[in-house]
Amino acid sequence: MTDVFQGYERQYCEISASLSRKCTAAASQEGEKLKQKASEIKSGIDGAEALIRKMDLEARNLQPSVRAGQLAKLREYKSDLNNLKGALKRITAGNGQQGAREELLESGMADTLVVSADQRSRLLRTTERQNQTTDRIRDSHRTMLETEELGVSIMHDLHQQRQSLLHANDTIVSLQANIC
């Protein structure tokens, strides 16, 4: 995995977590403050989309063995981004439903949105660690295969050298026999 891809990935995770917090905060806003928050979220989503496009370009330039894992991550990030877009739509469209929503939710239940965002960010971090572990396992497997291939090559070279030495020894023995 390239450092460039990892850098884009870190930036995206930071932006995504920030957008989740902003969506949670915007859900309790009304009027002009809601419009301002929605505008901030929209610009953040645009930035996240640009990062995903950059990650996509980077992933497509990687080796096939690494590319599949990176493209799978990209699908997750795109799904996450679509969820953020949906949350933005719900926030902006659901302004008229805010009163009914507050009646249904008790005051303690509003904290579940914050808990959900926290759980989501922890899940993203765990997924990232799992993907890094998978990458390390793939790298180890590739290194093992390369080492095995190198060992086979060395054994083949030693066999050829042994054959050359045996042939040279036979030649010397036959020359000695002819001389004596």
Query: What distance in Å separates the CA atoms of residue 4 and residue 126, rounded to the nearest whole number?
Result: 21
Contact 114, 24 (CB under 8 A): yes
Give the ranges where the chain is alpha helix by DSSP (H): 3-26, 31-60, 64-93, 98-104, 111-179
Q: Indicate if 97 and 138 belong to the same structural domain.
A: no
Domain count, the chain: 2
User: How many angstroms separate the CA atoms of 43 and 125, rounded?
Assistant: 24
Q: Are 69 and 2 contained in the same domain?
A: yes
In a domain, 114, yes or no: no
Asked if residue 84 is part of any domain, the answer here is yes
Question: Which residue in the block uniquely carries the two structure tokens 């949105």?
Answer: 113
Looking at residue 102, what is its pLDDT?
52
- The verdict on 14 and 77 lying in the same domain is yes
pLDDT-derived band at 112, boundaries 50, 70, 90: low
CA 120 to centroid of chain Cα atoms: 16
Q: Note whether 78 and 151 are same-domain residues.
A: no
**pLDDT-derived band at 27, boundaries 50, 70, 90:** confident
Within a domain: 41: yes
Domain final residue pick, 78, 101, 124 = 101
Q: Helices 31-60 and 64-93: crossing angle, nearest 10°?
A: 170
Structural domain boundaries, residue 81: 1-101
pLDDT digits (tens, 9 = 90+) for 131-165: 999 999 999 999 999 999 999 999 999 999 999 99
Model pLDDT for residues 83-101, shown as the tens digit of each residue = 888 888 888 776 545 544 5
Taking only the tens place, the pLDDT of each residue in 34-73 is 888 888 888 888 988 988 888 888 888 888 888 888 888 8
- Tokens found for residue 138: 């793939």
> Is the same domain home to 97 and 143?
no
Query: What are 50's two structure tokens?
Result: 């640009």
pLDDT of residue 148: 94
Q: Write down the pTM of the prediction.
A: 0.49
